[in-house]
Structure 1
Amino acid sequence: MLTGLALAGLVGLTAGCGPDGSDGATTPGPSASLPSSLASALPTGLPTTIPTTLPTALPTSLPTSLPTSLSTSLPGVGRIDGATGADALKGTNVPADFPIPPGAKVKLGASLAGTSTVTLTGLTPNAIAAFYRTALPAAGYRITSDSPAGGAAHALAFSGHGVTGGIGTAGFGQAQGTVLLFSK
């Protein structure tokens, strides 16, 4: 096809030239016609008309609302949502009677397979550590490690009631946060 187009361009350029190479203005040259090989080289089967209407099988309306609830539990996996408040403690791996310090705000909870996490805000690392040093043994948990890092961070590990876990807390100024981790 490219050869055919190049040939057509060459024919078009030379069609107006006379036999002596002049522009053909004074001596008319033979009339130009397309060679038959060029016409047969053009593709066949191309559409001869362009559609002027849209397909009619398209949907005429879109959904007007989203689902109001989605499943938050997968069989064998547990909760996958980000619950807040007291509901965050209802994960599959968080014991129902696990102590939460007074004044702490439960911000986020999630569970996946054998692990659950809960985040707390509102208390300093020293206040969290002091609370859990007494509350965990009183609730039947054993503290397996206690690692202070100055007043800015603290880590405790515990076991009991069928879970092992950790408490990591850190803060600086107004930014205080604690993560509780539970594993079965």
Structure 2
Amino acid sequence: MKTFAARIPERETGKDSAVKITEKILKARVTELNLGVLKETTFGIRVERSGKGYICCLVYRDQTPPEILLEGGSASEASACIEAVAATQRIFRQSMMGGVEKPEYLTDELFIKKGGERCPKTRCGSRDIIAGWVEKNGSGLTQAYRCGKCGLEFVIVYKMEGYEISGHAEVSP
């Protein structure tokens, strides 16, 4: 079995190192992607070894002919091609689904932890936000927040136009 070396950039591993890409590694990665990220798509990836090098193609689950992405490439080029397809699929799914695979009910705390709210201070931008109580005011609802990192306190005002805000009946003496 012939092996090829691929360079992994320093930012991914912390040091510049060479990883040998073998046919076995390619096949394992293709299987992992086809049964994982690409499972719910209309296509899969296939990598074959020919006399001129590797052939990487998209194989559709219906009768559409395969689309060749790489022909006669090295093992490292085939690996890059596979990872590009997987990354593109992840980006597409996140843009279409808003980063959430299935619709779900989110509590305020979970929404904040998933990055839905950040500290408005430009240099902080922390996700460590502590939510306060929601209070009713004349024009809608307000909620106080505090950044756990820099201590900034801020209020978000929710305007409830077109909604009726229900609450406890206020009794005046």
Give me the TM-score of the superposition, normalised by structure 2.
0.24
Structure ID, larger Rg: 1
Larger helix percent: 2
Greater relative contact order, per chain length (Cα 8 Å cut-off, separation 6+): 1
Give me the TM-score of the superposition, normalised by structure 1.
0.23
